[in-house]
Amino acid sequence: MKFHHIGIATKNIENTLKWISENFDIIKISEKVYDPLQDASLQMIETIDVNIELISGNIVKKLIEKKITYYHLCYEVEDINKSMLSFKNAIVISHPTNAILFNNRKVAFLYTPIGIIELLETEKQE
């Protein structure tokens, strides 16, 4: 398991991206995409220190209303199903599904005692 990114809930991706651009050394910014499975707009920002995923839409609306921006931590894993079973006392929020932002790699979300964890399956080597 390897740390991949932090997920940040935002009402406006463009405004949050502007703030990040002013405060972080950015290496790369993905295209903004809409994922109908999550009913969310998503954009990935790679900085020299940390990768940040911006999430906007109905999936984070209640967090935004409460002024909560921290959404999740993401870890990259070899086998998503095996990794899901290894988390003790975790509640599955979302079973493995393809994620548009990550080239249709499988993701799953778990609610744990330390908050929401996203598992991202590593790219398959051919």
Residues 83 and 75: their CA atoms lie apart, in Å, by 10
pLDDT at residue 19 in the model: 97
pLDDT tens column, 2-34: 999 999 999 999 999 999 999 999 999 999 999
Query: CB of 77 within 8 A of CB of 123?
Result: no
* Domains detected in the chain: 2-121 (3.10.180.10)
pLDDT tens column, 60-113: 999 999 999 999 999 999 999 999 999 888 999 999 999 999 999 999 999 999
Residues 113 and 122: their CA atoms lie apart, in Å, by 24
What's 67-111 look like in SS3?
CCCEEEEEEEECCHHHHHHHCCCCEEEEEEEEEHHHCCEEEEEEE
Residues 119 and 80: their CA atoms lie apart, in Å, by 7
Q: Model-level pTM? A: 0.91
pLDDT at residue 88 in the model: 86
Determine the 3-state secondary structure of 34 from DSSP: strand
Residues 86 and 104: their CA atoms lie apart, in Å, by 23
